[in-house]
Structure 1
Amino acid sequence: MKIENLRNKKILILGLAREGIDTLVFLQNKFPDQKIGIADKNEKIELDNPKNTILHLGDDYLKHINDYDVIIKSPGVSLNLIQPYLKKNQIVTSQADIFLSNCKGLVIGITGTKGKSTTSTLIYKILKAKGLKSFLVGNIGKPALSYLLKDQEDRIYIYELSSFQLETITKGPQVAIILNFFKDHLDQHKNLEEYFNAKKKITSLHDNDFLIFNSKDPQVKKMALGSKAQKIPFDPNKDRLKVKNKLIISGEPIAIIGEMFGVPKNLIISEINKFKPLKHRLEYVGKYKGIEFYNDSAATIPEAAISAIDKLGQKLDTIIVGGVNKGFSTKELSEAILNSNIRNVILFPETGKQIEEDILKSKKKVNLFNANDMKEAVKICFSQTKKEGICLLSPAASSFNMFKSYKQRGNLFKRNARK
């Protein structure tokens, strides 16, 4: 949506988290005399500049949604949640849509079920190392609209895009990267098809744009089929760079971007090799009492945990798994555990029960432990993990049955390991 089309419209910001606050600051800067509505389930919010704001807070925060022409939805608010309240001709947009529709600089958009944050960060680092004006946008960077206030044509924006950000866009980035597609977020999307279609929106490109995609993922290949962009497939199992750092999901899209922007190969390799995994993404916590601890709390689907098991290899002795049951099969994860050197499996409810049942059906002897909190889980890690072995938190499930977020889950793991 073009910024000028917001002028003199009744605008509602739906969800006042990090993006919502940034949207408010942007609108107040662009349209200082325009009234802005804010709707949020949280009853207690504090605004730095409450001038010309109308607040709709608490359980009835959606009650006045029809009073507005344009709704700027935050990613944390499900589109399905608000659909019943919408009237005809009401516009639902987002930070991502406004940014992509108005940005003067070049945008590299990265999506995928897993690996977005790491890939985005590394692309940002190699472009910055080359001396290019690169900026990290989204979940791990600054919110998008803050950049539009100082936007320039020579800037390169690396934008991590989730399905919740993509579902409202009307224009894609100039360079799009699709890493993978796994079953996820079905607690917010109606079904897998809706999740697929949201991700596919990143391929809405022109013939002078570029689409870099994982050619070994059947669903990603399907997404790429109808795109008008110039297509650049990659095989995530290849390693043209021969990097030492094996903890990243794949170096191939990073290498492709490096080639596109003239980044020397040795500079790309150097940046990847010195890269330390982001917090909660196969993050090395430290070595305590002879045991190495890795925090992979952001692994909220089985495929992510399987990847972590593969990357840590033979030294992996203990794993903590389990969390909210979102309807995923745990069979492949259980098989990965059984086919590894893991001797100890610490189980959190709810999916921990399924994994326990899977493992008990096998003939291999694995030590199984049930834990009701992180303190208990880490205590078991210390008592059972062999010296020089690795203890990994990679739950393969969401956290909300026991923790506020995957970040809290990971932080508690680190805190208890370091005691």
Structure 2
Amino acid sequence: MRITELAAQRVAIWGFGREGRAAIHALRKRLPALTLALYCSASEAAQAQAFDAALRIYPHEPDAVALSAYDIVIKSPGISAYKPAIITAQAQGTRFTSGTALWFAENPQARVVAVTGTKGKSTTTALLAHLARAQGVRTALAGNIGLPLLELLDQQADLWAIELSSFQTGEAGPLELGVITSLYEEHLDWHGSRERYVADKLKLADKAHRLLVNAQQPPLLEKTVQHPQRLLFGQTEGWHVADDAIRRGEQSVFPLQHMSVPGLHNALNACAALAALEAMGIDAVAAAQGLASFRPLPHRLQPLGERDGLQWINDSISTTPQATLAALESLHDRQVTVIVGGHDRGLDWTPFVDAVRSRKALRIVAQGANGPRIAAALRAAKSDVPLGDVDHLADAIEMARTITPQGGTVLLSPGAPSFDQFHDYAERGRRFAALAGFDEQAIAGIEGLGIG
């Protein structure tokens, strides 16, 4: 659906986050006379009216009757496509689209690498853009990573590195290369079931002319085996990690000790980015030297520095137990106190408990809504790991400061969403930094968003 097709239609915007604002701005630019309705929260109404005085603002969530009054509804990604009101309105003829879908329709000739995955998608997308730019390629970095595509509507790039969440994969148009970094259980509250989450993630395969997937995930290999142009990373024939280096087949290309982001999982993310560059005709071996200058993304194993004789690492983006295990693996040679817990989505913590129950040089502080459940699972397994159980993040930080030996590391890697105490993972990460004694504003920005 092109933006011009919205002319003379009854159109509503649902959501006044950054995606919603980008959609309003784009439609005003292309169709200034179009009447627009906005559904937002009551707390956003005044700000929305100041943003665009011509908006018809409804400060509440629309029901099926309200949605059915429109021809087109442009929905923000965080609003589940499986809400009963949406399904009912669709049956009545209302069409739903998004900023992502509109951008793809407006840019069918763009050279796009779209990256998704339960974990690793943001770092892989940012690495891809960073390494391509190091080779002189004019590259856009946008999407779910923090810059809505519609904010770059009329700009041009030679390569588009776009992160797509599981909420957005079905909204993409045809694209040159899709990348799937990993596939675990997540966002079940949005998708409704694990099966639907997996199916939504794999919608990217249907959109991609070529598909690059992680060879170290057998279920992902099985589910993508029918793709006619499937490529793999993480296996010895291509880009992989072995002998403390990133390798291209038998060639050692880049030593892990020079990586700016720690952990084998980040080295595998680098392999994904390098394999994607190679697939797009860029000299990936030459580009690999740029791995040393990559700046770690906020809230993703982000080193904050030293305070009170302790090292502090912010991994607030961790919203699954598997992500927490990956973070711990990257710090396997340190004395670590890990803070876990948050909003309870009912995920199974048994693999985490089994992996850490006898681990040396580890302390665990469980907090948040599912903290008691995590602590109970560790105690039931007769874990040898010292364990604390508190209510809130502030309490967890104080306990971690007390129990971590001098020279040790305090790691925030919750393995759970933030909604029990915070608006999102970024707010949680900033709060962690502030309580640890750091400038929370200094850690917030993602370097390289936009076109460069």
Superposition TM-score, scaled by structure 1 size:
0.92
Q: Hey, what's the Cα distance between the residues in 2 that align with 1:143 and 1:281?
A: 20
Task: State the partner residue of 1:32.
Answer: 32
SS in 2 for 1:80: coil
- Pairing partner for 1:418 from 418, 437, 443: 437
Q: What does 1:313-332 correspond to in 2, within 5 Å?
A: 313-332=332-351
Task: State the partner residue of 1:131.
Answer: 136
- Pairing partner for 1:254 from 249, 252, 273: 273
Q: What does 1:15-94 correspond to in 2, within 5 Å?
A: 15-45=15-45, 46-47=47-48, 50=52, 52-60=54-62, 63-81=65-83, 82-94=86-98
Task: State the partner residue of 1:112.
Answer: 117
Task: State the partner residue of 2:183.
Answer: 181
8 Å Cα contact 2:3-2:27 kept in structure 1: no
Alpha-carbon shift at residue 363 of structure 1 (Å): 4.9
- Pairing partner for 2:154 from 149, 152, 172: 149
Task: State the partner residue of 1:278.
Answer: 297
SS in 1 for 2:216: coil
- Cα deviation digits, residues 314-360 of structure 1 (max 9, x gap): 20321111122212111111222224334321111333223322322
- Pairing partner for 2:194 from 170, 192, 195: 192
Alpha-carbon shift at residue 79 of structure 1 (Å): 1.1
- Cα deviation digits, residues 6-35 of structure 1 (max 9, x gap): 222211111111001000100011111111
Q: What does 1:277-296 correspond to in 2, within 5 Å?
A: 277-296=296-315
* Structure 2 residue 165 is the aligned partner of structure 1 residue 162: yes
Instruction: Quickly say closer, same or farther: Cα 1:167–1:210, change in 2 above 3 A.
Output: closer
8 Å Cα contact 2:20-2:76 kept in structure 1: yes
Q: Hey, what's the Cα distance between the residues in 2 that align with 1:94 and 1:134?
A: 23
Instruction: Quickly say closer, same or farther: Cα 1:63–1:254, change in 2 above 3 A.
Output: same
Counterpart of 1:75, as a letter, is: P
Alpha-carbon shift at residue 86 of structure 1 (Å): 3.5
Q: Hey, what's the Cα distance between the residues in 1 that align with 2:361 and 2:199?
A: 37
8 Å Cα contact 2:371-2:390 kept in structure 1: no
Alpha-carbon shift at residue 380 of structure 1 (Å): 1.4
* Structure 2 residue 204 is the aligned partner of structure 1 residue 202: yes
Alpha-carbon shift at residue 137 of structure 1 (Å): 1.1
Larger CA deviation: 52-61 vs 324-333: 52-61
- Pairing partner for 1:96 from 91, 94, 100: 100
Instruction: Quickly say closer, same or farther: Cα 1:362–1:89, change in 2 above 3 A.
Output: closer
Moved over 6 A (4+): none
Q: Hey, what's the Cα distance between the residues in 1 that align with 2:53 and 2:375?
A: 55
Alpha-carbon shift at residue 371 of structure 1 (Å): 1.9
Q: Hey, what's the Cα distance between the residues in 2 that align with 1:275 and 1:189?
A: 33
8 Å Cα contact 1:322-1:395 kept in structure 2: yes
SS in 2 for 1:349: coil
Q: What does 1:325-364 correspond to in 2, within 5 Å?
A: 325-364=344-383
Percent of residue pairs identical: 27
Counterpart of 1:268, as a letter, is: A
Q: Hey, what's the Cα distance between the residues in 1 that align with 2:54 and 2:181?
A: 42
8 Å Cα contact 2:359-2:384 kept in structure 1: no
Q: Hey, what's the Cα distance between the residues in 2 that align with 1:141 and 1:105?
A: 20
Number of aligned pairs? Answer: 413
Instruction: Quickly say closer, same or farther: Cα 1:364–1:333, change in 2 above 3 A.
Output: closer
Instruction: Quickly say closer, same or farther: Cα 1:99–1:318, change in 2 above 3 A.
Output: same
Instruction: Quickly say closer, same or farther: Cα 1:98–1:53, change in 2 above 3 A.
Output: same
SS in 2 for 1:211: strand
* Structure 2 residue 126 is the aligned partner of structure 1 residue 121: yes
SS in 2 for 1:196: helix
8 Å Cα contact 2:324-2:415 kept in structure 1: yes
Q: Hey, what's the Cα distance between the residues in 1 that align with 2:427 and 2:316?
A: 9
Alpha-carbon shift at residue 179 of structure 1 (Å): 0.6
SS in 2 for 1:227: coil
8 Å Cα contact 2:113-2:276 kept in structure 1: no
Larger CA deviation: 116-125 vs 369-378: 369-378
Q: Hey, what's the Cα distance between the residues in 1 that align with 2:40 and 2:64?
A: 8
5+ residue gaps, structure 2 = 248-252, 439-452
Counterpart of 1:73, as a letter, is: K
8 Å Cα contact 1:172-1:201 kept in structure 2: no
Task: State the partner residue of 2:254.
Answer: 242
SS in 2 for 1:369: strand
SS in 2 for 1:163: coil
8 Å Cα contact 2:169-2:204 kept in structure 1: yes
Q: Hey, what's the Cα distance between the residues in 2 that align with 1:358 and 1:44?
A: 40
Larger CA deviation: 141-150 vs 90-99: 141-150
Instruction: Quickly say closer, same or farther: Cα 1:56–1:413, change in 2 above 3 A.
Output: same
SS in 2 for 1:109: strand
Q: Hey, what's the Cα distance between the residues in 1 that align with 2:284 and 2:117?
A: 25
Counterpart of 1:374, as a letter, is: L
5+ residue gaps, structure 1 = none
Q: Hey, what's the Cα distance between the residues in 2 that align with 1:55 and 1:226?
A: 47
- Cα deviation digits, residues 190-214 of structure 1 (max 9, x gap): 11121112111111246xx221111
